Amino acid sequence: MRKQITSLSLAIGLLVGMTQAQAALSLGNTRVIIDGQSSNSIEVINSSTSRYGVQSWVEDSAGKDPGKALVVTPSFQAIEGKQKAVLRLLSFAPLQNKELLYYLNVQEIPPKVADTGRSQLSMAVRTKIKVLIRPTALKENRKQAEEKITIAKTANGLRFANPTPYYFAVTTVAVGGKNYTKTAVGTFAPMSNVELKIPAGGASSATLSYLDDFGATRTANIAIQ
């Protein structure tokens, strides 16, 4: 059934630019953070006046089922129009010295359209957000950890290094008066580095715009070495 729904979502995605339809379901947060081997929840909001079905599942960064490491419940439910429901995520992932990244998928199942004899388009939108498993010992030092990112000039651009145990969501890199959007640092993994083809010129620093734990945009000014 998931394959059928996903196929419908992909087909509909090709038509999104030609329609004015909007998603009926939305989530209460842009991400879910779970401290250690515990749980957290997120609201699913039905802004329409119709009853919608909801299919929910989790996957790892490779798009595979994480098994017992992370579980979402319920996997299927129905939400009446203008009502809310709650999804609960439970982490059983082995604790490590860095954050773990998973994804929560929430798929709309629209009500059956009455047969009027005319062709009709029924939207089925899927929402996907990050789920971070954060070891309890790392909770205290998370605030503004993005300021620990280091940037160094290379022959081809700039090398960004994340020496921390946290995932970062960098949305924009501003260097020399120009803004660059680079997906390579949009999900910047712990203890990793990435080289970006951004001309540094004579710039001595870069300003990073990033999303914090609550989805708010913040900035960090980083010296270029």
Please tell me whether residues 87 and 194 are part of one structural domain: no
Question: Is residue 91 within 8 Å of 133, Cβ to Cβ?
Answer: yes
pLDDT digits over 82-128, tens only?
999 999 999 999 989 999 999 999 999 999 877 776 766 677 899 99
Nearest to 141, CA basis, from 52, 219, 213:
213
Q: Per-residue pLDDT averaged across 45-67, rounded? A: 98
Euclidean distance between CA atoms 150 and 146, whole angstroms: 9
Euclidean distance between CA atoms 52 and 184, whole angstroms: 35
- In this prediction, residue 34 has a pLDDT band, given cuts at 50, 70 and 90, of very high
Please tell me whether residues 117 and 216 are part of one structural domain: no
Strand, helix or coil at 154?
coil
Handedness of CA 194, 200, 205, 209 (dihedral sign): negative
More confident of the two residues 11 and 38? 38
pLDDT at 179: 97
Looking at 138, 156, 183, the residue that finishes a domain is 138
pLDDT at 9: 46
Range of the domain at 109: 2-138
Please tell me whether residues 16 and 119 are part of one structural domain: yes
Please tell me whether residues 84 and 168 are part of one structural domain: no
User: In this structure, what is the dihedral angle of CA atoms 134, 135, 136, 139, given to the nearest 10 degrees?
Assistant: -50
More confident of the two residues 187 and 14? 187
pLDDT > 90 fraction of the chain, expressed in percent and rounded: 84
Please tell me whether residues 187 and 86 are part of one structural domain: no
Q: Strand 100-109 and strand 52-60: pairing?
A: antiparallel
Please tell me whether residues 168 and 201 are part of one structural domain: yes
Output b/e per residue, 121-160; b: 16+ Cβ within 10 A: eebbbbeeebbbbbbeebeeebeebbeebebeeeeeebeb
pLDDT digits over 125-182, tens only?
999 999 999 999 999 999 999 999 999 999 999 999 999 999 999 999 999 999 999 9
- In this prediction, residue 22 has a pLDDT band, given cuts at 50, 70 and 90, of confident
Number of domains in the chain: 2
pLDDT at 123: 76
More confident of the two residues 118 and 196? 196
Looking at 88, 104, 138, the residue that finishes a domain is 138
Burial class (CB in 10 A: 0-12, 13-18, 19+), 119: exposed
Euclidean distance between CA atoms 26 and 84, whole angstroms: 10
Please tell me whether residues 101 and 182 are part of one structural domain: no
> The CATH number of the domain where 42 resides is what?
2.60.40.10
What is the pTM (predicted TM-score) of this model?
A: 0.87
